[in-house]
């Protein structure tokens, strides 16, 4: 009897410990942070990790969410694309996160996609991308091509009278798909094939002498030439340096970049870049009360007055704010209920407007063209009159023009709906 009582007591103690641990584990809402803190993309992604941590801290100071504190769970996929998938599985199955904010490159997102769909997780993706996708389990808070690439090309053609085009990118899915769209768009506008030069280089590429020489030669044919750059990560530093080395100025051959922002320019000699351009949906130089407050919070949080803000940070910001609103609306962090609550949510962006969550899992965003200044900031030289709705499937590729995404309309309810066949084709993204 005594032995039985001892084991009964031990069993009760273990059960109580397990119960206590379960209650403790459920006592926080876990926010996964999936950004490269090492490798070639760390130059861009580390800041986004810090942005999420700042947002979590700020929300906790407001009392948390649903009566619980938020807990950030940070992992480092180390610019290793297969590792992004492994870390996603770890975050959902072992760390029990309720949401993930992460990825930069499209190849990392594509690696994550099958895992997050299999496990019914929720990813907020904060960087401009090539479009041609709308997953049930992803909200795209960065720009689709019609919110960055297409308006940038229009600006170069209309305002700078560019006639020849160099499409230069890092060799992976985002630049290749974006350039495919841009090539089709340019040809539809009457640009001849011989007036389009396309070039790809690997991640971390450092020897730009030959490529810049080719760009210089291509631009020396008597027609105004521009470079549309989808070069990613730390390869941008030697690229711009080589432009300067070979005397290629913004006046001669302007570069408009889609992946160079304030963070990439910080601490960098900007003299070779003066006058070159970038197309984003946010610049630190944007004038609004919301932006002033955000910059002040960032500098205070990071404890460094010299640190800058950039577009992917703002995309992280609006995504986080929208998720908070959706969780409150749904009264739960359950992925399916939060997803349904997201549609139509509106949050203030940092440029003075409003971002609205669309049924295709994209956001409305303004489009800005900025010119690089000697202090590493951008002077906004052009912007859209209002926010532009993100288009998951481009109108500028025949196979995509007939596809729509709509996760709210029950008669569609997929991310790849063919308006001709009236069916969802292939995978539902």
Name the one residue in this structure whose structure tokens are 């720009």. Answer: 143
The three-state DSSP-derived secondary structure of 168-237 is EEECCHHHHHHHHHHHHHHHHCCCCHHHEEEEEECCCCCCCHHHHHHHHHHCCCCCCEEEEEECCHHHHH
Angstrom CA distances, 244 to 11, 202, 319, 376, stand at 73, 21, 37, 16
Residue length, the chain? 429
Give the pairing of strands 414-418 and 423-424: antiparallel
Say which residues have a Cβ less than 8 Å from residue 33's Cβ, sequence separation at least 6. Answer: 49, 52, 53, 72, 73, 74, 75, 100, 101, 102
Say which residues have a Cβ less than 8 Å from residue 394's Cβ, sequence separation at least 6. Answer: 131, 132, 144, 145, 146, 181, 400, 401
What was the pLDDT predicted at 23? 41
| Residue 239 contacts residue 206 (beta carbons within 8 Å) | no
Convert the pLDDT of each residue in 83-139 to its tens digit: 999 999 999 999 999 999 999 999 999 999 999 999 999 999 999 999 999 999 999
| Residue 124 contacts residue 325 (beta carbons within 8 Å) | no
Average pLDDT over residues 345-366: 98
| Residue 321 contacts residue 295 (beta carbons within 8 Å) | no
Name the one residue in this structure whose structure tokens are 């800058």. Answer: 308
φ, ψ of residue 124 to 5 degrees: the values are -105, 115
Distance (Å, whole) CA 174 – CA 208:
21
Convert the pLDDT of each residue in 4-26 to its tens digit: 443 444 444 444 444 433 444 46
Convert the pLDDT of each residue in 363-381 to its tens digit: 999 999 999 999 999 999 9
Convert the pLDDT of each residue in 75-84 to its tens digit: 999 999 999 9
Give the pairing of strands 364-365 and 388-389: antiparallel
What was the pLDDT predicted at 12? 45
Average pLDDT over residues 342-364: 98
Half-sphere exposure of 412 (CA within 13 A, CB side): 19
Domain boundaries in the chain? 24-144+289-366, 147-287
Instruction: Specify the CATH number for 147-287; select among 3.40.50.2300, 3.40.30.10, 3.40.50.720, 3.60.10.10.
Output: 3.40.50.2300
Instruction: Specify the CATH number for 24-144+289-366; select among 3.40.80.10, 3.40.50.2300, 2.40.30.20, 3.90.1150.10.
Output: 3.40.50.2300
3-class secondary-structure state, position 132: coil
């Amino acid at each position: 009897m005594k032995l039985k009582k001892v084991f009964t007591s031990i069993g009760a103690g273990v059960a109580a410990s397990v119960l206590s641990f379960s209650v403790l584990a459920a006592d926080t809402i876990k926010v996964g942070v999936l950004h490269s803190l090492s490798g070639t993309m760390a130059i861009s992604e580390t800041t986004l990790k810090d942005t999420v941590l700042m947002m979590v801290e700020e929300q906790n100071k407001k009392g948390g969410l649903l009566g619980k504190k938020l807990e950030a769970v940070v992992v480092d996929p180390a610019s290793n694309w297969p590792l992004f998938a492994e870390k996603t599985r770890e975050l959902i199955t072992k760390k029990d996160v309720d949401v993930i904010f992460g990825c930069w490159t499209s190849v990392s997102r594509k690696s994550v996609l099958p895992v997050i769909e299999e496990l019914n997780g929720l990813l907020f993706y904060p960087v401009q991308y090539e479009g041609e996708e709308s997953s049930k389990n992803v909200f795209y808070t960065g720009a689709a091509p019609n919110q960055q690439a297409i308006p940038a090309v229009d600006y170069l053609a209309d305002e700078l009278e560019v006639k020849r085009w160099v499409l230069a990118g890092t060799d992976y899915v985002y630049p290749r798909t974006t350039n495919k769209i841009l090539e089709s768009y340019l040809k539809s506008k009457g640009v001849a094939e011989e007036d389009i030069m396309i070039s790809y280089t690997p991640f971390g590429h450092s020897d730009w002498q030959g490529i810049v020489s080719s760009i210089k030669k291509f631009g020396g044919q008597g027609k105004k030439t521009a470079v549309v750059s989808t070069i990613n990560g730390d390869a941008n530093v030697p690229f711009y340096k080589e432009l300067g080395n070979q005397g290629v100025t913004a006046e001669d051959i302007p570069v408009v970049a889609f992946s160079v922002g304030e963070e990439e320019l910080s601490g960098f000699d900007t003299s070779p870049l003066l006058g070159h351009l970038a197309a984003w949906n946010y610049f630190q130089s944007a004038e609004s009360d919301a932006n002033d407050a955000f910059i002040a919070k960032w500098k205070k949080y990071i404890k460094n007055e010299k640190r800058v803000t950039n577009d992917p940070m703002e995309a992280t910001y609006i995504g986080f704010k929208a998720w908070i609103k959706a969780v409150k609306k749904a009264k739960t962090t359950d992925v399916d209920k939060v997803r349904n609550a997201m549609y139509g949510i509106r949050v203030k962006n940092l440029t003075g407007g409003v971002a609205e969550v669309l049924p295709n899992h994209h956001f409305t965003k303004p489009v800005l063209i900025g010119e690089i200044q000697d202090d590493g900031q951008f002077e906004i030289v052009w912007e859209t009159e209002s926010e532009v709705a993100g288009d998951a499937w481009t109108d500028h590729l025949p196979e995509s023009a007939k596809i729509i995404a709509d996760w709210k309309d029950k008669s569609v309810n997929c991310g790849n709906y063919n308006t001709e066949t009236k069916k969802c084709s292939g995978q539902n993204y």
